[in-house]
Structure 1
Amino acid sequence: MNATDPQSQSENPSDSNDSIIALSISIVVYRPDAALLARTVETLEAALAQLHDVAGRPCLYLIDNGNPGELADLPATSDAEFDTVVLKGHGNVGYGRGHNLAIERAQSRFHLILNPDVELNADGLRRALAFLRDSPQTGLLAPWIGGDDGRQQFLCRRYPSVFDLFVRGFLPSALRKPFARRLARYEMRDVIGETDIVWDPPIVSGCFMLFRTDVLTSLGGFDPRYFLYFEDYDLSLRTRRVARIAYVPTVRILHHGGGAAKKGSTHIKLFVTSAYRFFSRFGWKWL
């Protein structure tokens, strides 16, 4: 069933009974790349097809942050593997608040926060849910992440300094070379690899965050004060206070995203504003 929900819970397919489904997924879009979004949904459907022992039908929430008159042309779904709820009409409320619209509706054991520019391996969700079922202390799972070229992106992070963010985000690659060792430590390249599980990385990427839903809701989801950027840093650090985080490299995705510096002055301003809010909350570290 496809449903459109203009900020009402009545269309939620899991509202009709008291059962708890195994998995819900939320994807927030704002003027998305149609081909990338279609590919995300296609690979998600292939991954869901391997979940033969889940309770109930998974529910995908597509949250459209586009303004009235410019709503995204969202991809059609076959409904073979999941129900779809489209949330729209609320305007551009920001990335975190957009996901929160789905999180507050979710009636599931596990909730996947997913970017619209991610491709999932077909066996990724099966492996991830099996890990969470066998590791009840784990509240959040982060995958191995590859880029457009297939090479690993190191998106697990130690706590950043302002200098680290400036060098990584805004210096041309040629000027970053003197700081390569420093950035490698920030990106946890000494421990994040192809095969070994890593416990409790301080920060993991918001492009794919698989939560136990009760952990996520106990935290209130994302802090809505972040419009864009650093909401995943904030949520990761808060998660570590109540549950364990696991980097599980057998769960694999491709991520086609880019840095703030490549997206123009508006994104740079949003990046700086969110960085200020993040450091003001968790503590300033300049060098």
Structure 2
Amino acid sequence: MPKLSATIVAYNNYSDIQAALASIEKHTDKSVSKKIYIVDNGASVSNEMERRKFIRFVNQFDDAEYINAHRNLGFGKGHNYVLPFIDSTYHAIINPDILLEHDALKAITDYLDKNPDVGMCIPNITDQSGERLSVYREELTVFDMFVRMFCKGLFKKRQARHTMQYQNYSEPFQVPFGQGSFLVIRTDLLKELNGFDDRFFMYLEDADLCKRVNQKSKLMYLPDATVIHKWEQGSHKDKTLFKYHLQSMRYYFKKWGIKIR
């Protein structure tokens, strides 16, 4: 049984995943036994040559496996695809555009080994220049979501509070909502929660998972682990993604109750 399993969900972004996988293999201590699953939501006839080349790359690593989902399952359902057969102590949810320059995974699994009351961890997530990203948030409200999507130039103090800018990031602290670009959760807890709620096709499934984790355990920020995220914020640029974001907001607040402020 590997100590760590992980999923990366692909959708026409093989080059990003090659870089992510190579960085994980390079920087993760060999003492951490692992199994990394690449679940492909975007395989099609039009990219068949690229896909085959990518599979050959994945097959270089004994602890990586390519899985063709044959359709676009969405983010949460794509990660849930491996839930029935993972057999590990911890499971990592990793975005395709993540890069490791240090051994973040061992730092996180060591922390979880020593803190059985913690169910899930999120590391220090930075951009490529080393600036910490605003991926740690307070409980979601309709007002905060509206401001972030439509009024980014306004309510600066409110936005700073919502994105936890006043926290001491040199120490671990509990996070109500950590962006799902890099999360490491206890596998038994993930299975108990039945993974992501796959009624979210895309966006806010991570907020929902974090809320459910915090109801049973704790999601903790861990400063001793750092990863790089090439954050593109697609829903702010693409009308279809923006529609998915609005649909997810509607479902999230229907599920958990509308919290205005």
Separation in 2, partners of 1:125, 1:258: 23
Secondary structure of the 2:3 match is: strand
Higher deviation after alignment, 70-79 or 252-261: 70-79
CA contact (8 A) 2:75 2:201 kept: yes
CA RMSD of the aligned region, Å?
1.8
- What per-residue deviation string (whole Å, max 9, x for no partner) do you get for residues 208-237 of structure 1? 110110011100000010000000000000
Following superposition of structure 1 onto structure 2, how do residues 263-274 of structure 1 map, counting pairs within 5 Å?
263-274=237-248
1:202 has 2:183 as partner: no
In the other structure, the counterpart of 1:139 is 119
Q: Which runs of 5+ in 1 are unaligned?
A: 1-19
Give how far 1:119 is off: 0.8
In the other structure, the counterpart of 2:257 is 283
Q: Which amino acid aligns with 1:230?
A: L
Give how far 1:192 is off: 5.0
Separation in 1, partners of 2:114, 2:143: 39
In the other structure, the counterpart of 1:117 is 97
1:242 has 2:220 as partner: no
Separation in 1, partners of 2:210, 2:162: 15
| Pair 1:37–1:67, CA change in 2 (3 A) | closer
In the other structure, the counterpart of 2:160 is 184
- What per-residue deviation string (whole Å, max 9, x for no partner) do you get for residues 79-104 of structure 1? 45x52221114300111000001122
Give how far 1:22 is off: 0.5
Identity between Structure 1 and Structure 2 (%): 30
- What per-residue deviation string (whole Å, max 9, x for no partner) do you get for residues 111-142 of structure 1? 00000000123221121111111111111011
In the other structure, the counterpart of 1:227 is 201
Aligned equivalent of 2:6, options 13, 25, 34: 25
In the other structure, the counterpart of 1:159 is 139
Give how far 1:169 is off: 2.5
CA contact (8 A) 2:58 2:66 kept: no
Give how far 1:67 is off: 4.6
The two structures have a TM-score, normalised by structure 1, of 0.84
Q: Which runs of 5+ in 2 are unaligned?
A: none
CA contact (8 A) 2:90 2:184 kept: yes
